[in-house]
């Protein structure tokens, strides 16, 4: 009679093999993928694109890198974020980064 452990080993070995193959597959780009990536980069250069067209519901989610800090609050200052994507996508780090503390470093008086 076949032992249950044999079956478990075969199953785990099969899953493990697929797992290893996934890693191998992701490390080697196919020619189609490579040409698609190159063509997309060429399109970005040609059209001067700056963002992915993932969220087209509002201007600050369509072009997050081009949006200003106030665009999410377009109705009035402190307005609630209108679009659901605002909960997925935060403002770019360079917009919300704190400024360097200059106290005591400036030559002119504060």
Identify which of residues 15 and 104 has a Cβ nearer to other proteins in the complex: 15
Rounded to a whole number of angstroms, the minimum distance from the CB of residue 80 to other proteins is: 14
Rounded alpha-carbon distances, angstroms, from residue 95 to 40, 53, 88, 90? 27, 21, 17, 10
Token duo for residue 62: 């369509």
3-class SS of residue 71? helix
Do 64 and 91 form a contact (C-beta atoms < 8 A)?
Answer: yes
Contact between 53 and other proteins by CB under 8 A: the answer reads yes
List residues binding other proteins (CB under 8 A): 3-5, 7-8, 11-12, 15-16, 18-19, 22-23, 25-27, 29, 33, 36-37, 39-45, 47-59, 61-66, 68-71, 83-90, 92-94
């Amino acid at each position: 009679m076949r032992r249950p452990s044999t079956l478990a080993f075969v199953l785990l070995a099969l899953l493990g093999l697929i797992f290893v193959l996934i890693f191998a597959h992701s490390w080697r780009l196919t020619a189609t993928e490579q040409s698609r990536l190159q063509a997309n980069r060429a399109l970005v250069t040609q059209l001067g694109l700056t963002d992915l067209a993932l969220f087209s519901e509002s201007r600050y989610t369509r072009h997050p890198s081009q949006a200003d800090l106030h665009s999410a609050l377009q109705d009035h200052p402190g307005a609630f974020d209108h679009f659901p994507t605002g909960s997925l996508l935060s403002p770019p780090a360079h917009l919300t980064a704190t400024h360097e503390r200059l106290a005591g470093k400036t030559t002119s008086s504060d």
